[in-house]
Amino acid sequence: MSVNLQSRVIELRRNLLALGALVEQRVACMINVIRDGDVELARQVRTGDAEIDQMQIELETECMRLLALGSPVASDLRLILTAMRVSNELERIADMCKGISKRVIRMVDSGNYRYPPSLLQMANAAATMLSDVLVAFSNEDIKLCLEVRHADGYVDELNREVVVWAREWIAQDVGKTAAALELLAVSQRVERLADIVTAIAEDTVFLVEGRIVRHGAQ
């Protein structure tokens, strides 16, 4: 089983990175949706989730199989545990993209699609974080993981700017309250997306060093 376990662990890592690449594409589409208010693309993002869901289920099933049959330890065990968490986190990122697209469609349909530059900066920052964390996972690069974790603070700051901007928008025209709330929902999801990417960075630290650094631990 041990030789088999080794090859299957390598395949697991490869499949996880393939899921990551797919989610990365989804996030890039989400940025275009926000930037351009592209309803058609938004609809594609909303309906294109099945492939990611299926990949996530397959990865989780493979992890369970390896845990049950391969008796993994040390780096193999850490990879399998990390793959279970990260595949779930990537699937949630795709869900966030879906939710963001849904809100943009509503805003565009209502004829009130406006947003501050900080929203696009947030989305771009979150996308960069995702790309970096996938590189960090692939290269087992702890330094890059910690940079990703640090970048989450920048996204939080931009989110606060969007909140202030939305408040001003409502204050200027109370009739735009519904659209402003949709905008806040979009911003909140981008902020949450960056949080999930941060969790992946923390999972990667566990993968490499066996240290659990979630919940603010160093």
Partner 1 sequence: MTAETPIPSTVTSSSTAGPQVTIAPARPSVQGQTLAAAVRETAIKVRGFSSWYSSFQALKSLDLEMHAKHVTALIGPSGCGKSTFLRWINRMNDSITGARASGTLELAGVDLLSQSLDVVDLRRRVGMVFQKPNPFPKSIYDNVAFGPRLHKVYTRAELDELVEQSLRQASIWNEVKDRLRASALSLSGGQQQRLCIARAIAVGPEVLLMDEPCSALDPKSTLAIEELIETLADRYTIVIVTHNMQQAARVSDHTAFFFEGHLIESGATEEMFTRPKNKQTEDYVTGRFG
Look at residues 140, 156, 145 and name the one whose alpha carbon lies nearest to residue 188: 156
Nearer to partner 1, 121 or 138 (CB): 121
Question: 60 near 126, Cβ under 8 Å?
Answer: no
Which residues does 20 contact at the CB level (< 8 Å), separation at least 6?
Answer: 86, 90, 130, 134, 137
Residue 210 binds partner 1 (CB under 8 A): yes
Minimum distance of partner 1 from residue 211's CB (angstroms): 5
Site for partner 1 in 22-51 (CB under 8 A): 36-37
What angle (nearest 5°) sits at the alpha carbon of residue 15, between those of residues 128 and 95?
A: 55
Residue 151 binds partner 1 (CB under 8 A): yes
Candidate ranges 11-19, 21-29, 90-98, 121-129; the one touching partner 1 (CB under 8 A): 121-129
Minimum distance of partner 1 from residue 71's CB (angstroms): 5
31 dihedral zone (left: phi>0; alpha: psi -120 to 50; beta): alpha
Nearer to partner 1, 53 or 117 (CB): 117
Calpha distance 197→213 (Å, rounded): 14
Residue 62 binds partner 1 (CB under 8 A): no
Minimum distance of partner 1 from residue 54's CB (angstroms): 30
Residue 110 binds partner 1 (CB under 8 A): no
